[in-house]
Amino acid sequence: MATNEIIEKILSKAREKGEEDFKIAQQKYKELLKQKESKLKAEYTEKLKSEKKRIAEKHQQKISALRLKEKNKLQALKRSLLNKVYDEAWALAVSDKYYSNYLEKELKNNAEKEDFIIISAREQTFFEKKYKDLLTKYNVKIAKEKGKFRAGFIIPRGSVRLNCTLDEAFKAIIEKNEIDFAKTLLEA
């Protein structure tokens, strides 16, 4: 065999081996590329999913905050409406038409002859002028001590104090009926 043939054979074998190695390397490169693409795609999908979740959570937080704000506004409006109703009811309760009847009923049911009644400082003149006959009728006197309430009176009897204030009666009615008042008001 001639040297050229041997060289040719060696080169041919080397070329075949090179082509085979190239095909194997190319196949490995394609597989590696495919793996990296899959990994990147999975990372992208995961990041996208995570970002969507974060955005959805942030959106939900904003919705929750808005709902809470609106709920608080509604509660404030309800409270404002109830307070307006209570203020109007109080004004009616202390009007001449009803307040005189309230005082007379409380004096009749609770006062004894020679009792002193504690009234609020702001009602001093009111009682002395407008309800003088009522005080005389039940033989009660106004005490020097003044109460910290808006309307009505307190009868002190030793360690016991009969609370006949309109404030207390009004408060008791509100506490007893506030839920019904709120329901009625909000259904209207």
96-187: CATH architecture: 2-Layer Sandwich (3.30)
pLDDT tens string 130-183? 888 889 899 999 999 999 999 999 999 889 999 999 999 989 988 888 788 777
Domain assignments of the chain as residue spans, ordered by start: 1-93, 96-187
Task: Round to whole Å and give the CA distance between 2 and 23.
Answer: 31
Percent of the chain topping pLDDT 90? 40
Closest to 120 measured CA to CA, from 142, 136, 96, 91: 142
Is the confidence at residue 103, as pLDDT, over 70? yes
Other CB atoms within 10 Å distance of the CB of residue 152 = 25
